[in-house]
Amino acid sequence: MKLKALSTAMILATVPMTGAFAAGMDRSGQSIAAFLQPGNYFEAGISVLDPNVSGKVKNGYTPSPSAPASMVGLQNTNLSDMADDYYFPAAALKLQLTDQFSFGLLYDQPFGAEATYAVNDQGSTLLGGVGLFHDGNDATSVEVDTQTLSVVLGYQPTENFNFYGGGVYQTVKGDVQLRGLAYGGADNFGGYNAKIGEDSAVGWLAGFAYQIPEIALKASVTYRSEIDHKVTIDESSIASVGLNPGTVINMHNGQGQTEITTPQSVNLDFQTGIMANTVAFANVRWVDWSSFSIRPHAFGKASEAASTQLTQGAYTKGFNLVDYSDDQISATVGVGRKLNDQWAGNVSVGWDSGAGNPVSTLGPTEGYWNVGLGVQYSPAPNYFIAGGVKYFMLGDATAHSGAYSIPGNAQNAQVATFEDNDAWAYGLKIGYRF
């Protein structure tokens, strides 16, 4: 049961989509597995996600005080699918420079968001087209993209141990617009726009791995640091932002610098041979989402003024555009089997805790369960093509606006429920040994 004989099945355990619909804005899962492959190795892959996330206006929800009484009847009204399809690529190059030193380049898109509330959904047909998540013309939407390039150096003092670390270069950019009564309408935050200019920053990673080739055992732990970005955000609003028109911050063509810190994480990976040509594998991931938030400069000033006014001065700290209450823990377990010299397959089951509930209206799901199937074809011993599919059963969630954190306002800020949603993920990868 040598490691070499099982390399096909073990590569299969890294089919894309590991974190395709995870908590917070987690996407790629930030795997280090390609760097731990024996010898010189290259891979490139792409994952595609097709989610279905729909819901209803929360029973008992009442719009902002400025909304007409006719709007009180919108609870339990259907909200159509708000989660957009998206894809993300990944690539890795690993070079075994000597028996003891290795070098790697890992590219992925670790964090992101893609969502749009449909202008013509059933929950937005009141008041001449002004609804919960749009103003009759534009819809609430979010798009956040990150890219990461990790440069990794490894030291293998013996066949069994591998100590590695390196630098991480990351970029982030995004666009957000809030529309509709869920954010207080155009008189408050329902006309807010934020364009996050692209910023780059650096962090680091470190870890170690242990392997016993004779039984195809390999275990690793990898830590990735948080990365601090100072981004310029162009903020604007179709109206002055506050509880009443013109009473607080005017954000017409505003611009300010904001700190965004992408979260630290830890990955634990394990695999072992369980019979000839068969490996069991597991991955556990922790992400520090409870420390993550986005509060653009002008938005923050407006939220402080709004919370002060709403609580008559009892609470002046405002609220965030996006934040999470809990850390994410996710796990995947499965079995990979080499069927013959050309074909291998795997099955897996995954779970994700989510990052707290209620959740932001910009990402209204709470964790998941998934099941996955993968297949790999190797025309020659030194290269392969692998594909996989996963089905996600997404956790039910209650969605809230940012004003949820204002004391005494939690119930008011819960605007919609999202239940019985799912997603399909598809992955394709090629690998080459040289």
- Do the Cβ atoms of 248 and 242 come closer than 8 Å? yes
- Do the Cβ atoms of 48 and 15 come closer than 8 Å? no
**Sequence-separated contacts (24+) of 303-306 with Cβ below 8 Å:** 303/189, 303/402, 303/403, 305/241, 305/242, 305/247, 305/248, 305/249, 306/188, 306/189, 306/241, 306/242, 306/243, 306/248, 306/403
The token duo for 202 is: 């650096």
Q: Could you list the residue range(s) of the whole structural domain that residue 133 is in?
A: 4-433
Of the candidates 233, 290, 230, 286, the one whose C-alpha atom is nearest the C-alpha of residue 261 is 230
Query: How many domains does the chain contain in total?
Result: 1
DSSP-derived 3-state class of residue 114: strand
- Backbone phi and psi for residue 345, each to the nearest 5 degrees, phi listed first: -150, 165
Of the candidates 89, 123, 128, the one whose C-alpha atom is nearest the C-alpha of residue 107 is 89
The token duo for 294 is: 């986005």
- Do the Cβ atoms of 48 and 55 come closer than 8 Å? no
The token duo for 263 is: 């979260």
434 residues of the chain, pLDDT tens digit each: 344 444 444 444 444 445 566 778 898 999 999 999 999 999 999 999 999 999 888 877 766 555 544 455 555 678 888 888 988 899 999 999 999 999 999 999 999 989 898 765 544 444 445 577 887 778 899 999 999 999 999 999 999 999 999 999 999 999 999 988 788 765 578 888 899 999 999 999 999 999 998 888 999 999 999 999 999 888 887 655 554 444 445 555 556 789 999 999 999 999 999 988 899 999 999 999 999 999 998 888 888 888 888 888 888 888 899 999 999 999 999 999 989 989 999 999 999 999 988 888 888 889 999 999 999 999 998 999 999 999 999 999 998 888 788 888 877 788 889 999 999 999 999 999 99
Q: What's 111's DSSP letter?
A: B
